[in-house]
A = this chain, B = another copy of it.
Amino acid sequence: MSGTVHGVGLGPGAADLMSVRADRLVRGARHVAYFRKGGRQGQARRIVEGMLRADAVEFPMEYPVTTEIPLEDPRYAVALAGFYAKCAAHLRGLAEGGADVVVLCEGDPFFYGSFMHLFTRLKDDVPVQVVPAITGMSAAWTATGAPITWGDDVLTVAPATLSEAELTRRIAETDALVVMKIGQNLPKLKRAIAAAGRMEAAWLVEYAAMPEQRVMPLAEAETAPYFSIAILHGEGRRP
């Protein structure tokens, strides 16, 4: 009897914003795996601090590269592909041996998540179950204290890694906007939002739903951590 690999979304960062299903799976897990940067505890592991069984076996999966090699460099893809294959092999081995494994995933596993790279490598071999979760963007718009979409608003979710021209065009054409992956792309994003004529309505949320949460007008932001999200609210129909 094969075990199951559970890709468990932990949500945006507050432990009590985890779903009841995720909470139950995490607390009951004998095997837990999670991604992290080398030498760090990792955000996923931090969220579940104090929740794991005393006899839980942890399998940290440390990215071999993060920013040392540019994304466009073919060596980046090669390094990550080998890494994901190795991680998947370990989880496959556990499941084939009959063990259930909980993979801790920040946010929602199927929404820009690293778990997807394991999922595609495992789904044909062993049972894989995915638990959806509250996204970081839901926590971000909630933190701004205003609804993101009304009536027939269109919402665009774009990574700040797009070119400045494409960002500008997409920002000008949408009602509501969420921008992820800001970091070093902040100056470019600010130019694109200004060019689209929407800087006055733009917000930056850092560490949404985490203790360090900060909400500020995007115009005032001079740096943006990896866990930051820009927001433009829709202005659609509201009786």
Contact = CB atoms under 8 A, between A and B. Distances in A.
A139 B109 CA distance: 11
Interface in A112-128: 112-113, 116-117, 119-120, 123
Nearest to A157: B155
Given A111-B147, A154-B156, 16 more contacts: A14-B21, A15-B20, A17-B20, A17-B21, A17-B131, A20-B20, A20-B23, A81-B239, A110-B138, A110-B142, A111-B141, A130-B145, A132-B141, A134-B134, A152-B161, A155-B158
A76 B238 CA distance: 11
A116 B234 CA distance: 12
Interface of A: 11-12, 14-21, 23-24, 71, 76-78, 80-81, 84, 108-113, 116-117, 119-120, 123, 130-135, 138-139, 141-142, 145-159, 161-162, 170, 174, 181, 209, 237-239
A113 B147 contact: yes
B134 A239 contact: no
Contacts of A120: 238
A19 B24 contact: no
**What 3 pairs across the A-B complex have the smallest Cβ distances?**
A80-B239, A155-B157, A116-B147
A214 to B, nearest CB: 17
A162 B157 CA distance: 18
